């Protein structure tokens, strides 16, 4: 092997430099890594307006990000604790409430803007020894051999790695080039996102309204942002989403305030609405010889539970734990080793996929009997503290017996 080959040979090559890929790269510090990223995240300014995209980061993942050094780069003024969550059925009466204080926790989640979180991770990657970043690069080809995988980039460069990780999104080129089958379907909905100033304090409460089959299974969520602001995610049928996007700012604010029962008072638009189609994606497997998938490349769920980013960060955490904890001299691309990661993630991914997909279908189903059942179910869970606490701990990323 000549010097040029040695310079482009790595233990692990991560394709994808967004949240999951960057978190995994940071968690694998000490390993000779390559990270192939289409673009570098822009550095946000303290006085900048809110991102259209925000994450509800679970306490467990906040601790993970703190351990990576990224959390400290997100100013306290740009992260908002969720103290409670209120979920409403489509009958106007049924409700389920999770309250962190009553359950003995500090918060249920943290609302953090995408730009701040990604920039924080990249700041930590700047000086990471053993990491080679291939920025503004895209994957053209992928071949797997007995001892290494060969990655061909669009600009003609070639990399060799003992393990390739696809953290490159729902349309993952890594997954496609590796021939890993996936099952994907369209929910027939579009998520409309926007940020608003609100007339009353949100007090750290996140809200969600299931709007039922009359609104084609639409789900409206308001998440607390710093100051008196909220982030809206309205998952709606395509016709309704198009109507919302075409509205004048004042009309859209009135529409959202009415749909949210004036929970936070009058609204004023502060970030122009954007949209993205909703899909469901599940892969047949997460790993193969010299290959692993993480984040949206492996699974995509409906945003009604706000758990997509959390699942991806948990993937990064679990995969890093397996690779960092492997026996001395163990090949990181060994499929038997990688199955430890696949087994570790199977339960969480399956449970979240079934829960989210089931809820979306349940509240989209027509019929009086089904309507009574789904709304009664919300009220029943609200009256069962043990079950409610179990659901809350799972959403917070807390395992049984943890503190």
How far apart are alpha carbons 118 and 73 in whole angstroms? 10
pLDDT at 4 over 50: no
CATH of domain 3-362: 3.50.50.60
Give yes or no for a contact between 177 and 26, defined as CB atoms under 8 angstroms apart: no
- pLDDT at residue 395, rounded to an integer: 65
Greatest mean pLDDT among 36-40, 91-95, 140-144: 140-144
CA distance 288 to 291: 5
Between CA 53 and CA 339 the distance in angstroms is 33
Q: How many Å apart are CA 219 and CA 207, to the nearest integer?
A: 10
Categorize the per-residue pLDDT at 307 as very low, low, confident or very high, splitting at 50, 70 and 90: confident
Quickly count: other Cβ atoms within 10 Å of residue 52's Cβ: 18
Is the pLDDT at 49 greater than 60? The verdict is yes
CB 151 within 8 A of CB 159: yes
Q: Are 231 and 80 in contact (CB under 8 A)?
A: no
Cα–Cα dist 6/359, whole Å: 51
Say if residue 400's pLDDT is above 50: no
Assess contact for 122 and 41: CB atoms under 8 A.
yes
| Tens-place pLDDT, residues 361-385 | 555 544 444 545 555 555 545 554 5
As a whole number, mean pLDDT of residues 302-328 equals: 90
**Is-contact 66 74, C-beta < 8 A?**
no
Question: Does the predicted TM-score (pTM) go above 0.85?
Answer: yes
Q: Mean per-residue pLDDT for 280-297?
A: 96
pLDDT digits (tens, 9 = 90+) for 226-250: 999 999 999 999 999 999 999 999 9
Domain ranges in the chain are: 3-362
End-to-end CA distance of the chain: 50
The strand order across the sheet containing 299-300 reads: 95-99, 84-88, 205-210, 219-225, 229-237, 182-198, 267-283, 299-300
| Structure confidence at residue 259 as a pLDDT band (50, 70, 90) | very high
Q: What is the pLDDT of residue 389?
A: 63
What would the DSSP string read from start to end of 338-393? HHHHHHHHHHHHHHHHHHHHHHHHHTT--SHHHHHHHHHHHHHHHT-HHHHHHHHH
């Amino acid at each position: 092997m000549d010097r040029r080959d040695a310079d482009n040979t790595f233990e692990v090559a991560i394709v994808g430099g967004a949240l999951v890929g960057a978190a995994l790269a940071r968690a694998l510090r000490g390993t000779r890594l390559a990270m192939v990223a289409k673009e570098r995240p822009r550095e946000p300014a303290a006085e900048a307006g809110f991102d259209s995209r925000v994450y509800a980061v679970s306490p467990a993942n906040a601790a993970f990000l703190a351990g990576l050094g990224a959390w400290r780069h997100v100013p306290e003024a740009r992260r908002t604790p969720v103290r409670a969550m209120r979920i409403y059925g489509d009958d106007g009466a049924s409700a389920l409430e999770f309250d962190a204080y009553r359950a003995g926790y500090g918060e249920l989640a943290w609302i953090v803007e995408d730009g701040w979180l990604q920039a924080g991770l990249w700041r930590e990657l700047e000086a990471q020894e053993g990491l080679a970043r291939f920025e503004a690069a895209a994957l053209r080809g992928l071949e797997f051999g007995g001892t290494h995988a060969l990655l061909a980039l669009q600009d003609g460069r070639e990399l060799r790695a003992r393990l390739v990780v696809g953290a490159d999104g729902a349309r993952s080129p890594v997954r496609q080039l590796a021939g890993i089958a996936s099952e994907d379907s369209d929910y027939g909905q579009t998520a409309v996102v926007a940020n608003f100033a609100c007339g009353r304090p949100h007090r750290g409460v996140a809200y969600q309204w299931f709007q039922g089959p009359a609104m084609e299974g639409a789900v409206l969520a308001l998440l607390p942002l710093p100051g008196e602001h909220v982030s809206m995610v309205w998952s709606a049928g395509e016709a309704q989403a198009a109507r919302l996007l075409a509205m004048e700012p004042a009309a859209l604010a009135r529409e959202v305030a009415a749909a949210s029962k004036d929970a936070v008072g009058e609204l004023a638009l502060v970030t122009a609405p954007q949209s993205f189609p909703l899909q469901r994606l599940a892969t047949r497997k997460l790993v193969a010889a010299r290959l692993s998938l993480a984040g949206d490349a492996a699974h995509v769920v409906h945003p009604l539970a706000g758990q997509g980013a959390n699942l991806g960060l948990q993937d990064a955490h679990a995969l890093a734990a397996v690779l960092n904890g492997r026996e001395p001299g163990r090949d990181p691309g060994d499929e038997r080793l990688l199955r430890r990661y696949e087994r570790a993630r199977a339960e969480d991914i399956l449970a979240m996929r079934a829960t989210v997909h089931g809820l979306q279908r349940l509240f989209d189903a027509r019929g009086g009997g089904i309507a009574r059942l789904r709304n009664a179910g919300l009220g029943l869970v609200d009256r069962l503290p043990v079950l409610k606490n179990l659901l809350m701990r799972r959403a917070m990323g807390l395992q049984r017996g943890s503190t």
